[in-house]
Amino acid sequence: MTAPPYRVLLCDLRSDQLLDVLPLTGVSIDDYIGKTGSLRGVVPIPDQGLAARARPAIVPGRTAVWVERGRTLWWGGIVWTAAPGIDARGMLGVEMQAGGWSSYLYHRMLYDTQEASQVDQFDIVRGLLDYVQSTPGGDLGITYDPHVSGVLRDRTYSRYDLPYIGDLIDNLAAVENGFEWRIASHRDADGRRVKRLRLGHPVIRHGSSDVVLTHPGPLLSYRWPMDATGKANAWQSRGASDNTNQTENSTPIMSPLLVDSADIADGWPRLDGSSDYLTVEELPTLAEHARADAAAALNPVTIPEIEVLLGEGITPDLLGATVRLRIRDMWWPDGLDARYRVVGITVRPPERGRPETARLYLEVPT
């Protein structure tokens, strides 16, 4: 069966007013939890008429792009680069690269000090987004839900640090008892295009039933990395300077040294690790970062990758959903039957002699 065609809706970034609808070839779409997704593709330019349409519509930094596969909205983001060119066959096209909506928050800085005392961490994130969208030219129409995580935080974000908003959210999410976030694209019940901030504590989950994938079967291939290069069972984090007297030598605040004696007693060698949070001035906050980093380093997360045929419930909407893998081969002679959460997806278009597939990145249960 022929895969549905891809096309891009090019819109004004601030108003979302439709500028044009153009075909897209060589498309590659990826989306993640915990990392900004991206799009790559080429808008073919077969004649002068399409060139005249594409020139004003594809403006990096101010053009929004929504991707449709058939009638379904699959992805949305911001065009950051565009390169018209001619390939070896003499075919003219515009190569586009775009980042998901969250990429905008890494282009926005905090110019006004913000303080929060015993505020839910989700409300801190929404406050930062409100700050971004309240500035002239900064409202992209990103919406959110009012639910809370139940975890209260104290935070002071200084304008003197000139931090990027995206980095502030990432750092807040990465502490002990943190959360996950992403900005999703979908159509509402009335067919309107929606950009929505999704927050999940401790993780983002989606869907109520498992998608079952088997090998041999619709699971075409897998890659199961095992990596101890980032493992550590002793950890310490470094914060900001604790010395306000510039005439004396300054030293940073340090978290307590965290050593997992049980891991060492179990036979692992002593492996040390550290992290820097040079804008963190409060020891309790630094300790939260250290405990979260130490827990992550003790058993580094591996991200299995599986390749499956597109369709049968395999769409970018799977992010946060649970799949059940059933694999029987020489590595798992007794069979693997386990559930994993989808934390990333890359869509690969059909190529000559190859069907349309998706690569899923999975979170190993702990």
User: For position 310, which CATH number holds?
Assistant: 2.40.450
219 and 250 inside one domain = no
DSSP class of residue 317?
Answer: G
26 and 89 inside one domain = yes
What per-residue confidence (pLDDT) applies to 178?
96
Among 280, 298, 316, residue at a domain's last position: 298
Among 254, 278, 298, residue at a domain's last position: 298
What per-residue confidence (pLDDT) applies to 312?
63
76 in any annotated domain: yes
Phi then psi for residue 132, to 5 deg, are -60, -50
What per-residue confidence (pLDDT) applies to 317?
85
Number of domains the chain contains: 4
User: What residues of the chain score a pLDDT lower than 50?
Assistant: none
217 and 342 inside one domain = yes
130 and 147 inside one domain = yes
Phi then psi for residue 234, to 5 deg, are -135, 135
339 and 216 inside one domain = yes
201 in any annotated domain: no
What per-residue confidence (pLDDT) applies to 249?
74
Cβ atoms < 10 Å from Cβ of 52: 11
75 and 130 inside one domain = no
Q: Which amino acid is at 22?
A: L
Parallel/antiparallel/unpaired status of strands 322-327 and 336-348: antiparallel
79 and 57 inside one domain = yes
Contact 66, 96 (CB under 8 A): no
What per-residue confidence (pLDDT) applies to 211?
86
218 and 327 inside one domain = yes
205 in any annotated domain: no
81 and 120 inside one domain = no
89 and 120 inside one domain = no
Instruction: Give the domain range for residue 126.
Output: 108-196
What per-residue confidence (pLDDT) applies to 366?
54
What per-residue confidence (pLDDT) applies to 70?
78
